[in-house]
Amino acid sequence: MPATAMNPSTRFFNAAITRVVFVPEISDKFSPTRAELDAGTDVSADIAELTGWQVTSEQVQTPDLATRFTSSIPGRSTAEESAITFYADREGEDVRELLPRDTQGYVVIMDHGDQAGLPADVYPVRVASVGKMRSVGEEAARLEVQFSILSEPAENVTIPADGGEVEG
């Protein structure tokens, strides 16, 4: 009997769907409330690029004398160096007002949009730097905000419905 096939994905394009929200306070990163998310700032419209924002694991090699093959087991996990590149405002009224250096809070990435019941990732962060990206090329003025990830991100948390409690 053949293996059961996985249901094929409904593929999508991130632009116009993914939402990124900076939230100043979340009491439980594994279960943010709708009120906490709504108290945040949706920064999606000014994002030019996202880099990092991925949890990876080291591999611990576990050789033994019984075989020449070196097996491995999962080791420590880490979040890659993460940054968001924002468009700069000509008058300076941009992300620098919301996220100056040393600001702490949470970056919530809702890859499937802000829709109750769908997954999101919650990153506890501190702003490490806000760099001005200068160019003489054909590019809009941009700012790169680098973040330190302060603790293990909460991955695939369920976006809560109105009313503040997580569904499930």
The pTM (predicted TM-score) of the whole model is 0.88
How much is the pLDDT for 15? Answer: 87
How much is the pLDDT for 46? Answer: 97
Q: What is the mean pLDDT of each run of 10 residues along the chain (168 residues)?
A: 91 90 98 97 97 95 95 93 97 96 98 96 98 92 97 97 53
Which among 53, 144, 136, 20 has a CA at the least distance from the CA of 94?
A: 144
Q: Are 20 and 7 in contact (CB under 8 A)?
A: no
User: Where do we find the tokens 């949890």?
Assistant: 55
